Structure 1
């Protein structure tokens, strides 16, 4: 069999000659996707938020305020965050388009508006990408960012350089799990995640997926990207923690029997908070796109229940409004 993966390293359990895999076993039965879609259609999922979409927006959305100079973290919706550290700006998984889709007329549509446009962003130094799914890697957003900030440095997992070069990116750092780069006193570490990649029917798992750790002096930030639960989080905490602030996904988990392999639920997010040695966390991967069966307002409610059951202080893992920031 010819080697199609130019990064292939047989000593690494997540590498294959054709691409990449999760080291964990994934016992998914044939027909699971068809079963989920059938059940989803029969039950009319996803249901709207309890009091409707407009009420959800009024309660969970605000305009982003980028004033000041102190270190901050903004939640810009779904998996997009903006980190201001040491006067530099780090943007994660930016998606500002109307749909998370290759098509403008079909695919998951935003239920909450973008809290910012590329034109309103402060000067972005680094864009950190976790993987190539459309709700994390959006071509129009990337192209707009490059038009305004042509010197952006992209930090990406293996296999994503060719796509970014086609969009006009010139500065691309491509990392494998546990690789690191240091730039202007800020270090970026690619860390394991349990997920997958695909943008077309022909490139499934040809590029890698990952989380990221960003460090500057004594400060440490963990962005888990998109991931199912895995014992990898305890290894991340042991090797690179503890973390002053973490971004941990809590959405797209229902039904759990189908989604658990690649998305964690709020109970597992609380477990990750502890295992990865996080001092504080912001929940992500919720509030924008309806990618699974739970309603938009269910993840923060379920997180509150999980925190209460665990005895964790709710202040340590509290949802932010889309557009809200916290000081670091």
Structure 2
């Protein structure tokens, strides 16, 4: 098989969103500098309970290997739903609108919070290749209510979308809460983005009695060839009037330690938002992305009363079919004897109220 330069670059761009594969860009932006800790060695962040990310050689083995079996997604898979959110939600209710992939709008206590907002057509470092949308965002950008806070979990392209953050900044000027180092990525692209960076276990008051705590998750990050793990990644525990909401934007399962620790330190949890997609091939993805069976174990470990699924069906980051995560989730729930209504799958534009 001939590895042309364009084919290699296209493969790398196509993997960038799913796994943080080094993009073809050599980033020259500033990187985080701070004291050594139990998850920062002075140069790079690391997960004491995780594993290092896959190498470039392993990436190319997956992307260009002759034995690769990549399911073909439909060119367009529209959701039958579209949400027009109210300006605000007051009182003790929490309204969650699924935008698509890992993007959510959370409305509660008069506060409007976006999680990992992506309205772009591609999640890639280049315009000519990489994962593109297979359905529209569940909320049209112009239908968004005033956004007060944005939570960004890490720097991979399908979670930290600079174009969307700039649009939000220009229209709403929200606070952007993110793990250490990602603020530098944002401000290097657009100085108007009001990014605030925090470490694992930091608790941040958001207003209206709402707070968020950044918690460890089994993942990693990169945007360029020189910035692998130069920024931190996290999940979120959101304190709301209806209870705590555990938002896992990207994570492998490992031995389940991360989920059990959240249950111990932050439980009881009213709701968990857990990823179920972007998991094939398992030899490559298992350390950084859960499959549906892993997600069911994570639900049991964290002990949340209810779970919502995400990270599937919008961008084809990996090799499984577009409907495989939903089918496999139902099977995993049945095998674990967990009612399917406890772990719900939404389409973009659908809404849940707690």
Pairing 1:219–2:243 present: yes
2:343 to 312, 317, 328: 317
**Corresponding residue for 2:83?**
64
C-alpha displacement of 1:142? 0.6
2:265 to 224, 239, 244: 239
Secondary structure of residue in 2 paired with 1:75: strand
**Corresponding residue for 1:204?**
228
C-alpha displacement of 1:8? 3.1
Kindly indicate whether the alpha-carbon contact (under 8 Å) linking 2:84 and 2:144 is maintained by their aligned counterparts in 1: no
> In angstroms, what is the RMSD of aligned CA positions?
2.0
Kindly indicate whether the alpha-carbon contact (under 8 Å) linking 1:304 and 1:314 is maintained by their aligned counterparts in 2: yes
Secondary structure of residue in 1 paired with 2:269: coil
In 1, Cα distance between the equivalents of 2:54 and 2:136? 37
Q: Please, which moves more after superposition, 239-248 or 217-226?
A: 217-226
Summarize the alignment of residues 241-260 of structure 1 with structure 2, pairs less than 5 Å apart: 241-260=267-286
Pairing 1:179–2:202 present: yes
CA distance 1:127–1:27, change in 2 (3 Å):
closer
2:177 to 135, 155, 158: 155
Q: What is the number of equivalent residue pairs in this alignment?
A: 315
Summarize the alignment of residues 25-44 of structure 1 with structure 2, pairs less than 5 Å apart: 25-26=50-51, 31-39=57-65, 42-44=67-69
Secondary structure of residue in 2 paired with 1:142: helix
In 2, Cα distance between the equivalents of 1:282 and 1:33? 30
In 1, Cα distance between the equivalents of 2:307 and 2:84? 20
Structure 1: gaps spanning 5 or more residues: none
**Corresponding residue for 2:71?**
46
Superposed CA deviations along residues 112-152 of structure 1, whole A, max 9, x for unmatched, are 122233321011111000001110011111111011002x1
In 1, Cα distance between the equivalents of 2:304 and 2:127? 38
C-alpha displacement of 1:233? 1.0
In 2, Cα distance between the equivalents of 1:7 and 1:315? 45
TM-score with structure 2 setting the length: 0.84
In 2, Cα distance between the equivalents of 1:194 and 1:115? 28
Secondary structure of residue in 2 paired with 1:35: helix
In 1, Cα distance between the equivalents of 2:120 and 2:52? 34
Summarize the alignment of residues 1-328 of structure 1 with structure 2, pairs less than 5 Å apart: 6-10=33-37, 12=38, 14-26=39-51, 31-39=57-65, 42-48=67-73, 52-54=74-76, 56-57=77-78, 60-67=79-86, 69=89, 70-150=93-173, 152-166=174-188, 167-169=190-192, 171-184=194-207, 185-217=209-241, 219-230=243-254, 231-328=257-354
In 2, Cα distance between the equivalents of 1:245 and 1:305? 21
C-alpha displacement of 1:5? 5.1
Kindly indicate whether the alpha-carbon contact (under 8 Å) linking 1:71 and 1:327 is maintained by their aligned counterparts in 2: yes
TM-score with structure 1 setting the length: 0.90
